[in-house]
């Protein structure tokens, strides 16, 4: 089996090593991964147990997490997600990489993830259900915003942008492109959210290839 993993564009944060990395344990034929989640911490080793009781590599997954300065397991993450792909990204801009677990192949619409945020106080990863509805969540350290990307075939796509305020995902804007065959153009709908004041919507057309 071809050994393969993907290293994404490095994201550099203040005084910490915060690389965005993505891995396919199945394709890599590798169930153990070691990396730093922050320059102030030792390396973390993530061991993936992806087989069910019959030995098939399917079903729920268990991830055993250890630190290089401690031979003991510090946490075991158990999830119903059949982890085919995972990433480590700083999703809440605290300088620590977080664990994103994806189920199944990534289709054209984009993958959704179970997101486990690293808690520097407890030294463990904690599941955050807020991210469950996002597809391809991408953090931008320069704006401190997270964008969720979705593509519904060739005729529809959307980008929804969030900020994190007091640990909560707050929607900032939504842009949707829907192809209108009658005019052979995309209808672009832009929604700007204004908290308690509601939202403003602007609709126009754009010339794009569908």
User: What mean pLDDT comes out for the span 168-186?
Assistant: 95
pLDDT of residue 19: 42
Of the ranges 71-80, 88-97, 105-114, 173-182, which one carries the lowest mean pLDDT score? 105-114
* Model pLDDT, residue 51: 58
With b for 16 or more beta-carbon neighbours within 10 A and e for fewer, the 133-168 pattern comes to: ebbbbbbebeeebbbbebbeeeeebbbbbbebeeee
Q: Is the dihedral angle over the CA atoms 11, 17, 23, 28 positive or is it negative? A: positive
State pLDDT tens for residues 69-83: 987 899 999 887 778
Q: What is the signed CA dihedral for 66, 68, 70, 72, rounded to 10 degrees?
A: 30
We find that the CATH architecture of domain 6-134 is Beta Barrel (2.40)
pTM: 0.81
Does position 107 have pLDDT exceeding 90, yes or no? no
pLDDT tens per residue across span 114-158? 999 999 999 999 999 999 989 999 999 999 999 999 998 899 999
> What are the φ and ψ backbone dihedral angles of 36, each rounded to 5 degrees?
-90, 140
Q: Among 4-18, 100-114, 167-181, which stretch is predicted with the lowest mean pLDDT?
A: 4-18
Q: How are strands ordered across the β-sheet holding 61-67?
A: 32-35, 44-49, 61-67, 70-79
What are 203's strand-pairing partners? 189
Residue 55 pLDDT > 80: no
Looking up tokens 């009781």 gives 53
The closest of 25, 65, 63 to 42, measured between CA atoms, is 65
**Domain spans of the chain?**
6-134, 152-210
């Amino acid at each position: 089996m071809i050994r393969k993993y993907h290293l994404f564009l490095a994201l550099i944060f203040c005084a910490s090593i915060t690389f965005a990395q993505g891995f396919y344990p199945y394709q890599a034929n590798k169930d153990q991964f070691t990396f730093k989640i922050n320059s102030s911490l030792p390396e973390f080793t993530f061991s993936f147990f992806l087989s069910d009781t019959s030995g098939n590599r399917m079903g729920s997954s268990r991830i055993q997490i250890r630190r290089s300065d401690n031979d003991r397991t510090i946490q075991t993450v158990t999830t119903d997600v059949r982890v085919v792909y995972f990433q480590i990204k700083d999703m809440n801009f605290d300088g620590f990489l977080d664990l994103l677990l994806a189920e199944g192949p990534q289709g054209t619409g984009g993958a959704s993830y179970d997101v486990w945020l690293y808690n520097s106080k407890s030294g463990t990863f904690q599941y955050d259900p807020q991210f469950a509805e996002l597809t391809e969540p991408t953090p931008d350290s320069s704006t401190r915003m997270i964008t969720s990307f979705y593509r519904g075939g060739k005729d529809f796509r959307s980008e929804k942008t969030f900020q994190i305020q007091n640990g909560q995902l707050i929607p900032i804007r939504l842009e949707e492109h829907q192809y209108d065959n009658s005019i052979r153009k995309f209808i672009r709908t832009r929604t700007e959210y204004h908290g308690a004041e509601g939202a403003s919507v602007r609709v126009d057309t754009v010339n794009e290839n569908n």
